[in-house]
Each structure stands twice: as structure tokens, then as C-alpha cells.
Amino acid sequence: MIELNAQTIAFAILSALILGGGLGVVTTRNLVHGALWLILSLLGVAGYFVLLSAPFLAAVQVLVYIGAIAILIVFAVMLTRSMTSLGEVRNRQWWLSAITVVLLFLLLAVGIILPVWGRGAPGEVTSLSATVGGAAELGEALVAGDGFVLPFEVASILLTAAMIGAIVVARDEEDGQA
């Protein structure tokens, strides 16, 4: 059975956080509350990264998702004022979507996740490693000629495109500003 040690307990707490946060996001009426539940969920994911020996990614998760994206979500909510308080749910076919989602989940779990990472499968992880990976190897890999230097630069171009695109869209109302 599942061994009860500190890591399992941590995993359980984090899972509760993530799932609870997710539930909070979809059940709350208030969009700003939804964004805050999302933050809770994202914190749990950061904890997951730590358990998986990737603290760098955990910090990135907090820094980018919670520090920037969650703030932007709240800003976006504020931009559309009528959304801060929703009325009743107007979706009549929610039962259909519920069935579809459950089926999809079963398909993913039984068809893909369990055979690859489940018990006895080739990808099974029996215990979490006690040592933690560092960012130095990541850095070397990112700029090595035969490493990921091309995706590294492409990421930069992608970010540039994102910024230019966002500015073009957001400043749309200013006509004649060449």
C-alpha cells in the first residue's frame, strides 16, 4: 500500500490544495474570487514541482503564474465590469458536458496515464528522490550549441511577438499614432 511518510503527506496536502482550488474556481459566482482560488491551486502546483525535485520550476511557477498572470486575470476581470457578479447559471445542457468530461477523464486515466505511469508500468516512480536538481545544468543545456539554444532564441522571438501584439491590440483606440 501507499507508505505513510512525510512525502506522501505533503503530496496529499498539495493535492487537496490543487483540487480544492480548482473546485473553488468553477463553483464560485464571483470572478475575482475565482482568480484567488486559482492562485491557491497554482501554489499547490508549485509544491508539486518541489516534490518532483524541480525547485527552479516551483519558483518560476509562483513568480510567473501567481505574480503576473493571476494579476492580469484580475485586471482583465476588472476591465469587463459586468462580470464581477454573475447571475444564475444559464446553461441547460450541463448534464451533457458533465457526462462528456467524466468519460474523457476515464479515457485519459485508464487509457494513457495508468498504462504508462501506473503500478508495474515502465514509467512507474516508486519514491521521490531526496536530492534536488539545480539550475546550472538547465543553464548549460539552454545555450549549448547542440542543446536547446534554438528553442531558447525562438522563445525570445515569441515573447517579442507577444508584447508587440498585445500593445497593438490594447492601444487600438489611439488612431493616428504612428
Partner 1 sequence: METLNEWAFVGVFFAIAWVFPALPIIGAWLVRPKKPNALKKQTYESGVETVGDTWVQFRVQYYIYGLVFLIFDVEMIFLFPWAVAYERLDWFAYGAGFLFIFLLTDALIYAWRKRALEWV
Partner 2 sequence: MGLTGSDVLTTCVDFINTLAPCLVRAGWHGDIANLLSLLLGVVIVATVPLLTVILLIWIERKFAARIQDRIGPNRVGPYGLLQSLADALKMLTKEDITPTGADRVLFNLAPIITFATVVLIWAIIPFTPLHIGADLSIGILYFVAVGSIGAVKVMIGGWSSNNKYALLGAFRTIALIVSYEVPMILALLVPVLMAGSMGMQDLTRAQGGMWFIVMSPLAAIIFFIANLAETGRSPFDLLEAESELIAGYNIEYSGFKFGMFMAGEFMHVFTVAVLTAVLFLGGWWGPFVDQVPALGFIWLGLKTAVVYLFMLLIRNTVPRFRIDQVMNINWKFMVPLSIVLILLQSFLLRLVDELGLRPAPELANDLLANVPQTLVLLAGNLVLGAIFMILLQRHGRTLREADEAVAAVRDPAPAGGMAEA
**Do 19 and 48 form a contact (C-beta atoms < 8 A)?**
no
Answer yes or no whether residue 128 interacts with partner 1 by CB under 8 A.
yes
Q: In this structure, what C-alpha cell is assigned to residue 21?
A: 482550488
Alpha-carbon distance of 40 to 135, in angstroms, equals 25
Which helix H or strand E contains 70, and what residues bound it? helix 70-79
Q: In this structure, what C-alpha cell is assigned to residue 42?
A: 497554482
Query: Choosing among partner 1, partner 2, none, which partner's interface includes residue 70 (Cβ < 5 to 8 Å by kind)?
Result: partner 2
Neighbours of 63 (CB within 10 A): 11
Q: Which of 14, 25, 31, 36 binds partner 2 (CB under 8 A)?
A: 36
> Shortest approach of partner 1 to residue 152 CB, angstroms?
6
Residue ranges that bind partner 1, judged by CB under 8 A: 6-7, 10, 47, 50-51, 53, 55-56, 60, 63-64, 67-69, 71-72, 75-76, 78-79, 81, 84, 128-140, 142-143, 145, 149, 152-153, 155-157, 159-160, 162-164, 166-167, 170-171, 174, 177
